[in-house]
Amino acid sequence: MKEEEVNRCQIQEWYPKFKSDSIKTVIHELPESFIEYLTDDNRPFLLPLSIDDADALPNRIHKPEEEEDFEVSEGSEDESEQPLPPPSFPELETKIKESIKALGGSVFPKLNWSAPKDAAWISPTGNLCCNSFSEVALLLRASDSLVHDLCHVYDSCSDKTVSRPPKFFLALRKWYSSLRPEMEFRCFVRNGILVGVSQREVTGFYPALVEKKDELITLIQRFFTNKVKQSFESESYTFDIYVTNDERVKLLDFNPWVAFTLSLLFTWEELEDKLNGEEDCLEFRLVESQCGVRPGLKTAVPYDYLDTSPGSGWDEFLRKADEQLAQQIRSPQAGA
C-alpha cells in the first residue's frame, strides 16, 4: 500500500466527487492549535471554553490520579505550579456552530479518515450525535482511535515519507436518527473488481436481511459499476454504503485495502484469494443466524474519571442521559 492510496480515502478528497451520492457533509480545515489540543496527553482532560454558555459542557473530567500533579499547595507563589487554563477556539467554534445549524441541528463528526466511535460512551445519547461545539470537542478529545489519524495513518505504507498529513480536517455529517445500522455494508474491491460485501453491523442478527440478500447484492453491484468503479482512482480499496428504505444507495466512506481496515465477516486472506481467474467471484456475507453474531467490545464510562457531585455539571449531564434512556424504554417502538 502506498501513501497516495491512503490519501485518496480522506473525506475531504473523495466527498466533493461523490457528494450527490453521499450524505450531506460540511468540512472544515482544523487549526494546528486544535490538533495540538487533541494530542496533548500532558494536561488534564479539559474541554475548550465555549463562547456560548448555553452550549457548554463541564470543562474538566475529573481524574483522581491527577490530583497530585495539578494541585497547588497553600502559600505557593510559583506561577508555574498554577493549573493551565482551558483552551479556547472561538473562530472554529463559530464555524462549527453555523454548520450544525445548516445541517439541521444534529451532526456526527469525523477527521480525515476516522470517526470517534470508541468515545460514544461519553455521549449522553450513547452515540456520535452532536448538537454543539462542546459535544464535538468532547468526542474528539475522548477518542483513542483518532490517534491513528493524527499519528500513525501512514505506518503501513511501503513508501512512507511522513508521519502525518500536512493538514487535518473535521467533517460534520448530517445526523439521521432514522438510520438502521443493519442496512450499512462494507464492500471490498480488489484490482478493480468487487470481490466481497459484508454486513457492517455484525453484533446482531437481522432476519429481514437474509430474506433480502439477493435484492441487496443486485443494488450494491449496480451502484459499484455505475457510480464508484470509474470514479475512484485506486485499484484496491473498501467503501461503505447505506441502503435506504426506498432502495437508494448512499456512499458513506472509503478505506484502504488491508492496512487498518476491518474485514468484518471475512478474513483478509479470504479476500486476497478471491481473484482466482474467475470473473464472477463476488461473495456477500451476512450474519445469517444468532450463532453467527460477533459481539463487539462493550465499553462503559470510566466512572472514576467523573466528578458527579452536585454542582459539578456532570450531575446534570448524567441526569439527562438517564431521562433519555427512560424515554427510549417507554417508547412504543422499544419492543418492536
Encode pLDDT of 195-237 as tens digits: 999 999 988 899 999 999 999 999 999 999 999 999 999 999 9
Encode pLDDT of 133-142 as tens digits: 999 999 999 9
Distance CA 124, CA 132 (A): 13
Encode pLDDT of 42-91 as tens digits: 877 788 988 876 555 655 554 444 445 545 445 555 555 666 788 899 99
- Between residues 69 and 269, the one the model is more confident about: 269
Distance CA 160, CA 164 (A): 10
Distance CA 40, CA 320 (A): 30
Q: How confident is the model at residue 319 (pLDDT cuts 50, 70, 90)?
A: low
Residue 331 has pLDDT above 90, yes or no: no
Cα four-point dihedral sign 159, 162, 167, 171? positive
Strand partners, 60: 46
Counting residues of the chain whose pLDDT is more than 70, the rounded percentage is 76
Taking every pair of C-alpha atoms in the chain, what is the biggest distance, in angstroms?
A: 79
Encode pLDDT of 15-48 as tens digits: 999 999 999 999 999 999 999 999 988 877 788 9
Cell of 315: 450531575
Contacts of 227 (CB under 8 A, 6+ apart): 18, 21, 249, 251
- Interval 113-133 mean pLDDT: 91
**Crossing angle (nearest 10°) for helices 90-102 and 133-142:** 110
Rounded (5°) CA angle 219-220-224? 120
In order, the DSSP letters of 120-177 are GGGSTTSSS-BSSHHHHHHHHHH-STHHIIIIITTTT-TT---SS-S--EEEEEE--T
Contacts of 300 (CB under 8 A, 6+ apart): 121
> Model's pTM, two decimal places?
0.79
> What pLDDT does residue 81 have?
61
